[in-house]
Amino acid sequence: MQTLIVQVATTFVGDATALVNGFGRIVTHIVMAPIERIANACDVAGVLQMRRARHSHRRGGGFGCLRFLSELT
């Protein structure tokens, strides 16, 4: 009986986490869309397209958020 309760609780927590992450991505997309449009309109030299092409083949991994530090050098 306890294992069933624990399993239901962990499933609920996992589903709640996925729901919050989904809402976060939706809100981020809505907020960032105008900024992306402005950045694309101001990108005269095509730097953003080159940067996206270069970063598209990289994998995130555990420390994927640190991959943009290479741009600082």
Estimate the share of the chain in helix, then strand, then coil, as percent rounded to the nearest 5. 80, 0, 20
Structural domains of the chain, count? 1
Residue 27: predicted pLDDT: 92
Is residue 69 a part of any domain in this protein? no
Q: Which domain holds residue 21?
A: 2-57
Structure token digits, residue 12 = 């609920």
Residue 13: predicted pLDDT: 93
Residue 36: predicted pLDDT: 86
Is residue 16 a part of any domain in this protein? yes
> With bands split at pLDDT 50, 70 and 90, how would you rate the model's confidence at 64?
low
Average per-residue pLDDT for the chain = 81
Residue 46: predicted pLDDT: 83
> With bands split at pLDDT 50, 70 and 90, how would you rate the model's confidence at 18?
very high
